[in-house]
Each structure stands twice: as structure tokens, then as C-alpha cells.
Amino acid sequence: MKTRLADIAAQAGVSEATVSRVLNSRPGVAEDTRRAVLTALDVLGYERPARLRRRSAGLVGLMLPELDNPIFPAFAQVIERALAHHGYTPVLCTGTPGGATEDDYTELLLERGVSGIIFVSGLHSDSGADMSRYVRLVERGLPVVFVNGYAEGIDAPFISSDESVAVELAIGHLASLRHRHIGLAVGPERYVPTARKIAGFRRGLAAAFGVEDAEPWIERSLFSVEGGQAAAGTLLARGATAIVCGSDLMALGVIRAVRERGLGVPGDVSVVGYDDSPLVAFTDPPLTTVRQAVAPMGAAAVRALLDEIGGGRAPRTELVYRPELVVRGSTGPAKAASGDDARAVAPGVVPPPTAGESAPPRSEPIPSG
């Protein structure tokens, strides 16, 4: 016990005698000091004595589409920590192929009497989904908050990353590296984040090169490594020297496709991901990506939900968080294809398009998927 008290005291920055007084519920300890000792217990992995355990303020559902994509556990960690800090017990619900659906989990959460639900990249992000399911939740008075994906007609707070700006940042970076043939590998366009990425891609190519028709450089696939690999095959066949991806997982699939063709990253093809998932800084090569503001977005979602639970009214406008370009090793200068392309260009300056190159040739049909 001596060592344990010393560890806790060192972590909390107090004396062992103070730790003993807190653990034995003795008077004479300031509230801030008491909280510091209890936090030290939690950080060091010690179980609080039963008399010191905080009672749960209630259950809150946290709905995620999956855990395979590392960005979703990252959101879960931020949101769960914030909820626990305010005394709420998070109930994590994740979809699995052939398993319980979002609607199934919602019914289960309602049966458990949850105080509210946070939906991350749920059906609300699918423009083809029936949004009446959420309208019914709001009408019955259940506080709900939506992260990444926006739908009209739902009287609830929405928190989103600026997907359009994310792609424009990526294009600006690649253009400064003299890439002129840039592709976009994304998921199905019925999802709001994908549609926004595509809109940003069109604007980015128009601003950088005056391209009026970006469609030949867009490949819609699945949100997975395999989806990125499939999309890359088509884009590489069209001559893309750089590919912007809808997620980090898709970017890993693109890198796989590039290497299968005997090419290198970034020597032959530059790749930009999206999310800045944990561990992508340690891939080979470390992935250049656009970072979602996961921590502030998760904190904002919890604040909005707690406002709603407390009887307040969180802002109904969509809160949009600007992402950040993180440059690592998967992007580099484009290979000089001609004397014109090889001319010196100052960093950050986009070279003007050569005659006849404002749009790529339509040598192949665009796949419908």
C-alpha cells in the first residue's frame, strides 16, 4: 500500500497523507485537491473505493458505422472521454455486416432509457436514406447530435469536417509539386461527405488549371483498401501522377495498386489520404493526408448534446471545422514529362496549363460504380 500511495501522490502532486485522507473520505481536503487525487487513481488504473465512485448521470448512445476504419475509434475515444468527464456512461454501438442495424441499436438504446444519442457518419450522411427515423426521435424529445453528414429537416445540431476544403488543400499541395494530372478516389456519391469532396475537387482543378470537366479524373468506389486499389487502377491507366483519396484506408489501397504496377510512391505517383488516422504517420512511406479536427469536433458534439439534455437549445446551424493538410513522405515532385513541364516553378506557384491540356482525353468510358 505504501508504494501505491506514493505513486498516487506523485501523480497528483500532493503528499501521501493527503492521498490517505481522500481515500478514507476524511475532511480537511480542498475540492480541487480531492479531484486531483481521484484523477490520479483513474490515470494509474487503480479502482476507486466504492464510496468514492461517481454515480452515472445517465446513459448516452454513441453510434458508429464500423471500427475497421481507425478514424471511428478515434472519434469514439474523444467522445467517450468527454461524456465520462461529465458523469455520463457511453454505450458504444457499431455496425457489422449482417449484424444489428442502426435502427436496431436505436431501439435498444431507447429501451435502455438513454439520455441522448450521438450519430457519427450514420445514415444521416446517406442522401438516399429515409430521414424520418431521426425526425421521429426529435419529436419524442430525445436529444440527438449528428457528426459528419448533413440532412435538411432534422431539428438537431450537426458537426462536420469541411470535406470540400480538404480536397482543395490537397490539390493546392500537389499543384505546387508540378502535378497536372490529379485523380480523385472516393466512395459512393450518395454520401454527403463524398459529394462535398467531389465538389471541392471540381473547384480545385478549375482554380489550379482551368479544368472545366473534372469527371474523367473522378473514380467512385468503396470506402476501403480494396476500393482505393480498384479506383487507382483506372486513374493510373488514365495517366494520373497524383491521387487524392476519400480516406486513409483508400490511400493505402492506392499505394498497393501503384506498387503492383512496379511504380513507386512518391517517385512515380503521389498519394494524399484523408482523416489522419492513427498510425498513418508510420506507414511506408508515411502518408501525406488531410487531418480531420477529431478532438474539437468530438468535444463540440458532446457539448451540444449536454446542452440539449440540460433543457437548452444548441445551435441548429451546421458547425463546420476546417481540416489541416499534413505533409509527409507519400507526396513529391512530379516527374518532368516534357521540357515545358520541367521548367522551374517556385514552391506554391501553380504552372499554367499547356495548350490542349485543360482536360484529359476520354479514351476510356467512366465506370458507373
**Distance between CA 170 and CA 308 in Å, rounded?**
36
- Count of beta carbons in the 10 Å neighbourhood of residue 214: 20
**Distance between CA 306 and CA 227 in Å, rounded?**
37
Query: Which of 21-35, 153-167, 321-335, 345-359 has the least mean pLDDT?
Result: 345-359
- Count of beta carbons in the 10 Å neighbourhood of residue 326: 17
Helix ranges, the chain (H): 2-12, 16-23, 31-44, 71-85, 102-111, 132-139, 163-176, 192-209, 225-237, 248-260, 294-309
Looking at residue 313, its amino acid is R
**Distance between CA 297 and CA 79 in Å, rounded?**
9
Q: Of the candidates 232, 228, 259, which has an alpha carbon nearest to the alpha carbon of residue 246?
A: 228
Element housing 93 (H / E):
strand 88-94
Rounded to the nearest 5 percent, the helix, strand and coil shares of the chain are 40, 15, 45
Burial class (CB in 10 A: 0-12, 13-18, 19+), 135: middle
Mean pLDDT of 180-199: 97
Q: Please, what sign has the CA dihedral across residues 108, 142, 160, 277?
A: negative
For residue 24, what pLDDT band results from cuts at 50, 70 and 90?
A: confident
Grid cell locating 188 = 459512393
Q: Of the candidates 204, 203, 292, 186, which has an alpha carbon nearest to the alpha carbon of residue 243?
A: 186
Asked if the model's pLDDT at residue 346 lies above 60, the reply is: no
pLDDT score recorded for residue 365: 31
Respond yes or no on whether the N-terminal peptide bond of residue 70 is cis (omega within 30° of 0): no
Q: Each residue of 121-148: pLDDT tens digit?
A: 999 999 999 999 999 999 999 999 999 9
- Count of beta carbons in the 10 Å neighbourhood of residue 342: 12
Q: Each residue of 96-123: pLDDT tens digit?
A: 878 889 999 999 999 999 999 999 999 9
User: Residue 45: left if φ>0, alpha if ψ -120 to 50, beta else—which one?
Assistant: left
**Distance between CA 184 and CA 231 in Å, rounded?**
8
Residue with C-alpha cell 468506389? Answer: 221
Asked if the model's pLDDT at residue 356 lies above 60, the reply is: no
Grid cell locating 275 = 482523416
Instruction: Classify 66 as helix, strand or coil.
Output: coil
Q: Each residue of 41-87: pLDDT tens digit?
A: 877 878 777 666 665 678 999 999 999 999 999 999 999 999 998 98
Name residue 60's beta-bridge partners. 90, 116
Asked if the model's pLDDT at residue 326 lies above 90, the reply is: yes
Asked if the model's pLDDT at residue 1 lies above 50, the reply is: no
Mean pLDDT of 174-190: 97
Residue with C-alpha cell 449482417? Answer: 98
- DSSP letter (8 states) at residue 97: T
